[in-house]
Structure 1
Amino acid sequence: MRVKCVICDTIGQLDDDLPLAKKLRNRPINTYMCDVCHTRIAENTTARIETGNFRFYRSSPQMDKEF
Structure 2
Amino acid sequence: MKVQCVICDKIEEIDDELPLAKKLRNRPIHTYMCQACHDRIKERTEARISTGKFRLYRSVHRDDEW
- 1:32-52 Cα distance to aligned partner (Å, 9 max, x none): 000000000000000000001
Where in structure 1 do 4 or more consecutive aligned residues deviate above 3 Å?
A: none
CA distance in 1, matches of 2:46, 2:54: 9
- Count residues with an aligned counterpart: 60
Aligned CA-pair RMSD = 1.1
Q: State, as a whole percentage, how many aligned pairs show the same letter.
A: 70
**Which residue in the other structure is 1:2 paired with?**
2
TM-aligned CA deviation for residue 6 of structure 1: 0.1
Tell me how far apart the structure 2 counterparts of residues 51 and 43 of structure 1 sit (CA, whole Å). Answer: 13
What's the TM-score once normalised by structure 1's chain length?
0.86
Deviations 1:5-37 (Å, cap 9, x if unpaired)? Answer: 000000000100000000000000000000000
The higher radius of gyration belongs to 2
Higher helix content, 1 or 2? 1
Per the alignment, residue 24 of structure 1 pairs with 24
Q: 2:37 — aligned with what?
A: 37
Identify unmatched segments of 5+ residues in structure 2: 61-66
